[in-house]
Amino acid sequence: MNSDIKDRTISSLVYLLPLVYALPFGLALLRQFPLLGVIYAPLSPLIALEFSLPFAGLIVFFGLWFGIVRSDRFSYFVRFNTMQAILLDILLIVCSLVIDILIPGLGRESLLVQTLNNTIFIGTLVACFYAIVQSARGIQAEIPTISDAVSSQIR
């Protein structure tokens, strides 16, 4: 795929959104392994903005959806990666809802809840870093199932 530096940069930056949304899932892991916090240090202004402004996530979601995904001004490469980042966010929201349902019955510190949180956090980190590297290289990142859903939505 032939993409210029602007497309590669935008396509890489959109994956910061799921990284920020994954942070609450990894808080226990970050307490146990503080060195992992290095990943989030450069994102601290974005994290502060996200968690201080009400509806910030919703505003960013609609901004990306209408400003990039549904716009013909951006290349397929940028729109594909933006939609993939949005779907990762939606998946994180669904995971959060499932965990919120499990917590009253199992407890926040139960082994199952902690394992789910850690798995979601690490899975999101891996997917996002893979997608960022691939986008920076100008290659479309193929995340199983999510990429198929994105391909059917983006034309």
The pLDDT of residue 114: 93
User: Among 9-18, 24-33, 46-55, which is the least confidently predicted range?
Assistant: 46-55
Split at pLDDT 50, 70, 90, the class of 102 is confident
Quick one: pLDDT band at residue 52, thresholds 50, 70, 90?
Answer: confident
- Integer Cα distance of 8 and 136 in angstroms: 5
Looking at the predicted structure, is the pLDDT value of residue 58 above 90? no
CA dist 11 → 37, 128, 138 (Å) = 24, 11, 9
**Predicted local distance difference test score (pLDDT) of residue 133:** 97
Count of CB atoms within 10 A of residue 72's CB?
Answer: 6
Q: Name the pLDDT band for 2 (thresholds 50, 70, 90).
A: low
Per-residue pLDDT band for 37 (boundaries 50, 70, 90) equals confident
Domain range annotation of the chain:
5-153
Under a CB-based contact definition with an 8 Å cutoff, are residues 150 and 84 in contact?
Answer: yes
On whether the CB atoms of residues 8 and 75 are closer than 8 A, the answer is no
How many other C-beta atoms can be found within 10 angstroms of the C-beta atom of residue 148? 11
Amino acid identity of 25?
Answer: F
The whole-angstrom separation of Cα 47 and Cα 1 is 32
Given a cut of 70, whether residue 46 has pLDDT beyond it is yes
